[in-house]
């Protein structure tokens, strides 16, 4: 039996209540006997080997591995570890998923490539890397892939090429080893578990048959979130593991054919077919409902149905935006492997985190955070906002999501959309982007004021022009909008609002200002370009006028064609 208890810091702890396996059972069926706990992660390696063998022999969906070794791997077969430049031969290998953290990480640079190819001294490896080598050897595998050592970190061309190959690297690995609980590379993961599995008695009694029993409690892991990789936005929670908070690791987990988490108390297995844990909790019927798990993800991608695919992508982006990236410029590269898998499933043209055929509704994302420099995405892409800061979030919507809640009428027309890649990989970093659309447009005036809502300081109310005030009985009306970022000197600036869609009689529109930067591709002399500054959406409209009444402000608006960068 599991029990959640509130902590002083507002979080919660998960505890297991049970009777010892060697003792009498509890009179209450809900309180079962203790599951077996191995005393160390090393003792769990035979279990992992058994899981791999079962998966290889019994799971057709997981046996479609192909392709050769990555460009470079660590050869761990002998006493010394060294960097091996492959000939793309077909050999099984393991890959490590880990947190880089704030401490220095051993890396391969152009200046160290030659010496790494001879030997990497054991003492130079962090505890986590040493544990990964040991685990690979115990699994009888010869090769191990670790990003910091197998990619030349100061060679931009090599970094772009290898990071763009993440999809195949993690999917083709025989096993991805996840160091789940380390915030950096120092702690390792082959720990002794004695301290974590200690229990204490909380109740003793005598059952109806006169037999004594003892109920005990110990710290445990909340299994409800195991395997739930893409919860809906209303249920996004932080897994207790450090690795689950990282952006690159999120992609690695979704791409991996076989993925094992080395958690503090047990191993947890994920593949395209099954979800297992050492304690057996995930094998119980009550735990078999795992929404949006890896199994469901791959089945949906195989469906070739674009609306299903776009809905899943929206869930991926909502979850990904909660993750942390050490370098914010990696926001698109750290998702490029998944983008390639979606393209292979028929999602169409990729545009800096969005899909061409899912426009214009996918423009209706909501985020708050800084728009960092240097440039990393056009303003109409969610990737232009740094959402991986404390308290930030992202809400995206796809065509499917809209139809699932209420009928949505699309009222804007997309004429053209493109992004210029700054690298060879079209799913990686971009240097420019432009979107041209037609829709009803009204002019609005930004009105800065002191706000006290939970959206402070990103909320910036504004009022309509005199013409629109007439539509509301000549009353000045203020309406709040979702500002993407803090914009200095916005007070009294003329903005425009372009209507994208309406749902249940309420408008859904982008708020734009005249762009002040650059001459992007296709720019005509004298042409006015716009950049996004926020969003008006039915879920956040608030004023004395009913939200459905705001459609009236577009009643006499003219349809215009504009370009957004």
The two three-digit tokens of residue 510, written as one number = 């982008």
Residue with tokens 């600036």: 493
Asked whether the predicted pLDDT for residue 90 surpasses 50, the reply is: yes
Q: Are residues 525 and 538 in the same domain?
A: yes
Q: Are residues 182 and 142 in the same domain?
A: yes
Sheet strands side by side (includes 12-18) = 2-6, 12-18, 212-219, 199-206
Asked whether the predicted pLDDT for residue 284 surpasses 70, the reply is: no
Question: Residue 285: inside a domain, yes or no?
Answer: no
Task: Please report the pLDDT score of residue 48 as a whole number.
Answer: 97
pTM of the model: 0.84
Task: Please report the pLDDT score of residue 509 as a whole number.
Answer: 93
Q: Are residues 354 and 261 in the same domain?
A: no
Task: Please report the pLDDT score of residue 232 as a whole number.
Answer: 60
Phi, psi (rounded to 5 degrees) for 352:
50, 50
Asked whether the predicted pLDDT for residue 231 surpasses 80, the reply is: no
Of 187-201, 347-361, 391-405, the range with the lowest mean pLDDT is 391-405
Question: Residue 438: inside a domain, yes or no?
Answer: yes
Closest by Cα among 494, 489, 486 to 451: 486
Which DSSP state fits 196?
G
C-alpha span between 251 and 270 (Å, rounded): 14
Number of domains comprising the chain: 3
- For residue 528, CA distances in Å to 164, 458, 494, 496, 523 come to 35, 26, 14, 12, 9
C-alpha span between 474 and 383 (Å, rounded): 40
Task: Please report the pLDDT score of residue 498 as a whole number.
Answer: 97
Question: Residue 471: inside a domain, yes or no?
Answer: yes
Cα torsion 304, 302, 231, 455 to 10°: value is -30
- Provide mean pLDDT across the span 427-434: 96
Asked whether the predicted pLDDT for residue 564 surpasses 80, the reply is: yes
Task: Please report the pLDDT score of residue 65 as a whole number.
Answer: 60
Task: Please report the pLDDT score of residue 10 as a whole number.
Answer: 54
Q: State the pLDDT confidence band at 73, using cuts at 50, 70 and 90.
A: very high
Question: Residue 468: inside a domain, yes or no?
Answer: yes
Closest by Cα among 178, 185, 180, 166 to 106: 185
Question: Residue 289: inside a domain, yes or no?
Answer: no
C-alpha span between 348 and 236 (Å, rounded): 27
Q: Are residues 433 and 321 in the same domain?
A: yes
Percent of the chain at pLDDT > 70 equals 77
Asked whether the predicted pLDDT for residue 333 surpasses 50, the reply is: yes
Question: Residue 295: inside a domain, yes or no?
Answer: no
Residues 296-315 pLDDT 10s? 788 888 887 898 899 889 98
Q: Are residues 432 and 370 in the same domain?
A: yes
Contact 505, 554 (CB under 8 A): no
Averaged pLDDT score across all residues of the chain = 82
Task: Please report the pLDDT score of residue 98 as a whole number.
Answer: 97
Q: Are residues 205 and 319 in the same domain?
A: no
Give the residue with greater pLDDT, 398 vs 505: 505
- Provide mean pLDDT across the span 112-124: 98
The two three-digit tokens of residue 468, written as one number = 């629109």
Domain that holds residue 520: 303-564
Contact 338, 167 (CB under 8 A): yes
Question: Using alpha carbons only, how large is the chain's radius of gyration in Å?
Answer: 27
Long-range Cβ contact pairs of 417-421 (< 8 A, separation 24 or more): 417/351, 417/356, 417/359, 418/351, 418/521, 419/351, 419/352, 419/378, 420/521
Asked whether the predicted pLDDT for residue 149 surpasses 90, the reply is: yes
Phi, psi (rounded to 5 degrees) for 149:
-100, -25
Cα 85–chain centre separation: 31
Contact 178, 226 (CB under 8 A): no
Task: Please report the pLDDT score of residue 398 as a whole number.
Answer: 59
Task: Please report the pLDDT score of residue 454 as a whole number.
Answer: 45
Residues 441-500 pLDDT 10s? 998 887 655 444 444 444 444 433 333 332 444 445 566 677 888 777 666 778 899 999
Asked whether the predicted pLDDT for residue 410 surpasses 60, the reply is: yes
Beta bridge pairs of residue 436: 416, 563
Q: Are residues 401 and 476 in the same domain?
A: yes
C-alpha span between 239 and 220 (Å, rounded): 13
Which DSSP state fits 511?
E
Task: Please report the pLDDT score of residue 108 as a whole number.
Answer: 98
Residues 342-364 pLDDT 10s? 999 999 999 999 999 999 999 99
Q: Are residues 67 and 23 in the same domain?
A: no
Q: State the pLDDT confidence band at 207, using cuts at 50, 70 and 90.
A: confident
Q: Are residues 125 and 253 in the same domain?
A: yes
Task: Please report the pLDDT score of residue 542 as a whole number.
Answer: 43
Q: Roughly what angle, to the nearest 10 degrees, separates helices 333-344 and 306-320? A: 170
Asked whether the predicted pLDDT for residue 319 surpasses 60, the reply is: yes
Question: Residue 226: inside a domain, yes or no?
Answer: no
Residues 37-59 pLDDT 10s? 677 899 999 999 999 999 999 99
Looking only at the bridges linking them, the beta strands covering 478-479 and 482-483 are unpaired
Q: Are residues 161 and 204 in the same domain?
A: no
Phi, psi (rounded to 5 degrees) for 474:
60, 25
C-alpha span between 83 and 62 (Å, rounded): 28
Percent of the chain at pLDDT > 90 equals 48
Q: Are residues 76 and 135 in the same domain?
A: yes
Q: State the pLDDT confidence band at 4, using cuts at 50, 70 and 90.
A: low
Long-range Cβ contact pairs of 193-196 (< 8 A, separation 24 or more): 193/37, 193/38, 193/39, 193/40, 193/41, 193/264, 193/265, 194/39, 196/264, 196/265
Question: Residue 279: inside a domain, yes or no?
Answer: no
Q: Are residues 343 and 405 in the same domain?
A: yes
């Amino acid at each position: 039996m599991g029990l959640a208890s509130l902590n002083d810091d507002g979080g919660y702890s998960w505890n297991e209540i049970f009777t010892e396996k060697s003792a009498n059972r509890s009179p209450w069926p809900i309180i079962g006997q203790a599951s077996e706990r191995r005393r160390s992660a090393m003792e769990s390696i035979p279990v992992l080997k058994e899981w791999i063998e079962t998966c290889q022999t019994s799971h057709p969906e997981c046996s479609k591995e192909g392709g050769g070794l990555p460009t470079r791997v660590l050869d761990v077969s002998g006493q010394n570890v060294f960097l091996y430049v492959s000939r793309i031969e077909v050999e099984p290998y393991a890959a490590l998923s880990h947190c880089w953290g704030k401490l220095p990480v051993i890396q391969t640079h152009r200046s160290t490539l030659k010496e790494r190819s001879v030997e990497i001294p054991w003492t130079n490896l962090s505890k986590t890397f040493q544990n990964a080598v040991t685990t690979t050897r115990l699994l009888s595998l010869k090769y191990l892939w670790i990003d910091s050592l197998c990619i030349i970190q100061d060679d931009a061309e090599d970094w772009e090429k290898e990071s763009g190959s993440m999809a195949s690297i993690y999917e083709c690995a025989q096993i991805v080893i996840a160091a789940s609980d380390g915030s950096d590379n120092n702690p390792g993961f082959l720990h002794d578990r004695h301290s974590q599995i200690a229990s204490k008695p909380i109740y003793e009694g005598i059952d109806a048959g006169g037999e004594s029993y003892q109920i005990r409690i110990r710290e445990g892991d909340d299994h409800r979130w195991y395997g739930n990789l893409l919860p809906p936005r209303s249920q996004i929670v932080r897994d207790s593991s450090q690795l689950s908070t990282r952006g690159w690791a999120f992609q690695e987990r979704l791409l991996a054919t076989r993925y094992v988490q080395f958690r503090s108390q047990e191993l947890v297995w994920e593949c395209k077919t099954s979800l297992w844990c050492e304690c057996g909790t995930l094998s119980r019927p009550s735990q078999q409902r795992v929404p949006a798990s890896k199994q469901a993800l791959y089945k949906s991608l195989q469906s070739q149905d674009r609306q299903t695919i776009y809905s899943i992508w929206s869930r991926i982006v909502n979850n990904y935006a909660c993750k942390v990236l050490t370098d914010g410029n990696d926001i698109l590269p750290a998702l490029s492997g998944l983008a390639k898998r979606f393209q292979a499933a028929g999602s169409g043209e990729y545009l800096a985190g969005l899909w061409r055929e899912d426009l214009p509704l996918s423009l209706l994302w909501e985020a708050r955070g800084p728009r960092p420099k240097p440039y990393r995405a056009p303003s109409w892409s969610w990737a232009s906002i740094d959402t991986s800061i404390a308290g930030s979030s992202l809400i995206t919507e796809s065509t499917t999501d809209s139809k699932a809640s209420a009928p949505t009428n699309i009222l804007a027309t997309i004429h053209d959309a493109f992004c210029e890649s700054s690298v060879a990989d079209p799913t990686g970093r971009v240097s420019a982007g432009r979107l041209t659309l037609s829709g009803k447009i009204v002019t609005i005036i930004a009105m800065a004021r002191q706000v006290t809502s939970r959206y402070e300081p990103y909320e910036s109310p504004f009022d309509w022009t005199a013409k629109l005030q007439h539509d509301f009985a000549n009353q000045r009306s203020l309406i709040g909008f979702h500002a993407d970022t803090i914009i200095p000197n916005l007070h009294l600036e003329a903005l425009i609002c372009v209507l994208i869609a309406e749902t249940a009689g309420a408008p859904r529109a982008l708020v734009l200002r005249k762009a002040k930067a650059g001459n992007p591709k296709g720019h005509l002399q004298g042409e006015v370009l716009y950049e996004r500054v926020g969003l008006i959406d039915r879920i956040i409209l608030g004023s004395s006028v009913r939200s459905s009444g705001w459609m009236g402000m577009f009643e006499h608006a003219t349809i215009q064609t504009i370009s957004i960068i």
